[in-house]
Amino acid sequence: MSLLGRIAPQLIALAALVALVSFFFPGFLSISYHDGRLVGPVIDVLKRGAPVALLAIGMTLVIATRGIDLSVGTVMAICGAVAASAIAGGLGVGPALLLALGAGALAGLWNGVLVAVVGIQPFVATLILMTMGRGIAQLITEGRILTFTDAGFAFFGSGMMLGLPVPAWMWLIAGLGTALLMRLSALGLLIEAIGINRRASALSGVNATVLLIAVYVASGLCAALAGIVVTADIRGADANNAGLWLELDAILAVVIGGNSLLGGRFSVTASLLGAMIIQTIDTGVLLAGFPPEYNLVIKAGLVLIILVLQSPRIAAEWRVWRETQRAPPPDRTRTEGGA
């Protein structure tokens, strides 16, 4: 199946959403260019969707191994706090970035070892860091919003490169890099093999333990990048709120991308489209000007519709229904039995 065929449902859902949002906010697709930067709602979606898109890249790999990483939102807060305290301590942009990425890799290593070596279920293993980690972030920031004024670091949140916001470039490059690495090498295949049957893949010579640890480290690094984006965006580390509940949006993005939570075949590109679908809903709700009480209901409703339309069961029912439309069924009980 070609890539286009794989991501067709997500593209259709995204196009339908854009049409829907444009109905309520006609200027949604308008993009203007001034002061060397593109401005418009679509650019906002690309920028604001960056944290979830970055998380979704790592989450896709973890889910492909039949795992899950609930700690990514918290890891964002930790890495943001590390970066902000490094900047506030006068260390400069380079060391701050390295320390934040190091903290993300360390968090991923912790999760990976618990899952692959100790053998704790991924849900439980990453739950530990999810609940405990926010405390670590609060210790680093001493419970306050740690602010800084360094323009060099703020560039990663609100800077512009070639007309596009830097956060958008970050997830585009990270996503493209990961997708190419997975598909041009055998890495993607090996990860899928672990997800389908870890024991069988290990018996056929795949080093499952190292690969499992590696995907959790990758997820930690993605969370670190997301943490850098949100911290640089508001020029401060907010340990209480940074990345709060974003692990759930990241999992949702992977699921909307058509990836199975039971592991196996995966598509990073489809997950990224899932992230953009979520952000289009979020931004669309804000632009449409509904009262805020409706925000979550609208989001839940749209996500439900998208997931229901994607479900294999519904697709099969739809085929059966179409066949019955062509030729009236001689026996009704057969179709009611379901597909």
Partner 1 sequence: MKFTTFLSGAAILAASATASFAEGEVVGFAQIGSESGWRAAETTLTRNQAEERGYQLQFSDAQQRQENQIAAIRSFIAQGVDAILLAPVVATGWDSVLEEAQEAEIPVVLLDRQVDSADELYLTAVGSNLVHEGEVAGEWLVGEVGDRDCRIVELQGTTGSSPAIDRKTGFENAIQGHDNLEIVRSQTGDFTRAQGKEVMESFLQAENGGADICALYAHNDDMAVGAIQAIKEAGLAPGEDILIVSIDGVPDIFQAMADGEANATVELTPNMAGPAFDALEAYWADGTAPEKFIQTESKLYTQVDDPAGEYEARKDLGY
Instruction: List residues binding partner 1 (CB under 8 A).
Output: 25, 27, 35, 39-41, 44, 48, 143-145, 147, 158, 230, 233-236, 238, 240-242, 283, 286-287, 289, 291-293, 295
C-alpha 267: how far from its chain's center?
A: 12
Cα–Cα–Cα angle for 106, 109, 110, rounded to 5 degrees: 90
Among 126, 4, 117, 138, residue whose Cα is nearest residue 58: 126
Q: How far is CA 260 from CA 54, 62, 65, in A?
A: 19, 11, 10
- CB neighbour class for 117 (10 Å; exposed up to 12, middle 13-18, buried from 19): exposed
The number of beta carbons lying within 10 Å of the beta carbon of residue 116 is: 24
With respect to partner 1, which residue has the nearer C-beta, 172 or 244? 244
Write down the least CB distance from residue 236 to partner 1, Å.
Answer: 7
**CB 291, min distance to partner 1, A:** 7
207 vs 241, beta carbon nearer partner 1: 241
Q: Which is nearer to partner 1, 31 or 304 (CB)?
A: 31
What is d(CA 107, CA 98) in angstroms, rounded to the nearest whole number?
14
Q: Which amino acid is at 92?
A: G
Minimum CB separation of residue 158 from partner 1 in Å reads 5
Identify which of residues 41 and 67 has a Cβ nearer to partner 1 in the complex. 41
Rounded least distance, CB 327 to partner 1, Å: 51
CB of 79 to partner 1, least distance (A): 15
Query: Nearest Cα to 270, choosing from 279, 280, 258?
Result: 258
CB of 48 to partner 1, least distance (A): 6
Between residues 20 and 39, which has the closer beta carbon with respect to partner 1? 39
The CA distance from 133 to 139, in Å, is 10
- Quote the CA–CA distance of 213 and 31 in Å, as a whole number: 42
Is the separation of the CB atoms in 99 and 227 below 8 Å?
A: no
Q: How far is the CB of 249 from partner 1 (least distance, A)?
A: 13
Locate 136 and state its tokens: 């670590």
Cα(306)–Cα(255) distance, integer angstroms? 10
Whole-number Å distance between alpha carbons of 291 and 302: 17
Minimum Å gap between C-beta 273 and partner 1 is: 21
Helix/strand/coil for 339: coil
Nearer to partner 1, 62 or 250 (CB): 250
- Closer to partner 1 at the Cβ: 288 or 307? 288
Q: Minimum distance from CB of 56 to partner 1 (Å)?
A: 18
Please tell me the distance from the alpha carbon of residue 336 to that of residue 339, in angstroms, as a whole number: 9
Q: Which is nearer to partner 1, 101 or 242 (CB)?
A: 242
**Residue nearer to partner 1 on the CB measure, 62 or 146:** 146
Distance, in Å, from the CA atom of 234 to the CA atom of 274, rounded to the nearest integer, reads 25
